[in-house]
Amino acid sequence: MRHTPVLLNEVIENLNLKKGAKVIDCTLGDGGHSEAILEHIGLRGKLLGLDADPESILRAKRFLYRFEDQIVFARENFSNLENIAKENDFVSVDAILFDLGWSSPQFAERSRGFSFDKDEPLNMRYDNRCQVFGSENCVDASLIINEYSLEDLIWIFKNYGEEELSREIAEEILSERKIKRIATSRELTEVILKVYRKKLRTDKEIPWIGGIHPATKVFQALRIAVNNELEILKNTLPLAFELLNKGGRLAVISFHSLEDRIVKQFFQSLPYAKSKIITKKPISASEEEIKINPRARSAKLRVIEKI
Ligand SMILES: C[S@@+](CC[C@H](N)C(=O)[O-])C[C@H]1O[C@@H](n2cnc3c(N)ncnc32)[C@H](O)[C@@H]1O
């Protein structure tokens, strides 16, 4: 299954792409956005595609093979954007895209514990750092859940997940892990469900809250903490803006309010004389797109131009 790119037409329209443009896709994934970008920039156009996940790079190479002479693939975290752009002569570009988060195949097929529906080891890293460096040098979701202090767990669930039962869930994790390590996504989900069942005084197997699974926020918080997502985004957006030519555009698709807030605040922090916000309000997916691709429901696209 190939990942379905969200807000594809909206991204293409708002990037204002010209033939021969130079573009950076910071989150290549399965290359859906890159493919459409390459179609728009023609044979003289060039694209630098980054992804921290080695499997995403391999997949994108297959999906984009017909453009291979125009693409530079980089298996890199976008926190290294400045260096990668310099090394590959992408220091003045016409468009940059961030489509944040994970791709559907990463979620469904890679056994990294991203999903509370599955019984997989608690990893949640986008890259394969743990395989490469060994587990002592690697922060993964299992290390956070099994080793971090009560206060640190509460902080992560509250700040990265906006989870209302942060303290109760953290306390339950500490009491479970005295008995045995919480090793899989299913075991962690069970701990969270136990807390929610107690709080809501129900014996329902899954006490859904307004259509949302009770484990959603803790899983989001862990993924953000493991990959240091918010800090990296905050630090990389200014570097990306610097790389744009005058008239160049930066587009960011985010999937939750914490990311969107960072993008919005960064755009607003830029001086009027240097930038023009193209999306006064973030662009959301149409009902038709959401019907075909439910993941698009929470997507928000913001675009800014360097002037
Ligand atoms: C939503 S997917 C992108 C999908 C892509 N636009 C497409 O059309 O197929 C996000 C991708 O960004 C990658 N990613 C997330 N954070 C990253 C980071 N800090 N640096 C590099 N890649 C990252 C993930 O591994 C994933 O492949």
pLDDT tens sequence across 228-271:
999 999 999 999 999 999 999 999 999 999 999 999 999 999 99
Amino acid at site 304: I
50 lines ligand 1 (CB under 6 A): yes
* The pLDDT of residue 135: 60
Q: Nearest Cα to 96, choosing from 307, 257, 306, 274?
A: 306
Please state, in angstroms and rounded to a whole number, the distance separating the CA atoms of residues 239 and 258. 20
pLDDT at 7 over 80: yes
Contact between residue 283 and residue 231 where contact means Cβ atoms under 8 Å apart:
no
* The pLDDT of residue 133: 60
Q: pTM for the complete prediction?
A: 0.93
CA 77 to ligand 1 centroid distance, Å: 9
The residue to which tokens 């209302």 are assigned: 164
78 lines ligand 1 (CB under 6 A): yes
> Which residues make up the CATH 1.10.150.170 domain(s) of the chain?
111-227
Give pLDDT tens digits for 23-59.
Answer: 999 999 999 999 999 999 999 999 999 999 999 999 9
Contacts of 207 (CB under 8 A, 6+ apart): 193, 196, 197, 200, 214
Pick the CATH number of 8-105+229-306 from 3.40.50.150, 3.40.630.30, 3.20.20.70, 3.30.70.120: 3.40.50.150
Give pLDDT tens digits for 52-85.
Answer: 999 999 999 999 999 999 999 999 999 999 999 9
> Which residues make up the CATH 3.40.50.150 domain(s) of the chain?
8-105+229-306
256 lines ligand 1 (CB under 6 A): no
Where does 111-227 sit in CATH, by number? 1.10.150.170
**Strand locations in 91-164 (E):** 93-99
Please state, in angstroms and rounded to a whole number, the distance separating the CA atoms of residues 163 and 218. 7
Is the dihedral angle over the CA atoms 55, 60, 63, 68 positive or is it negative?
negative
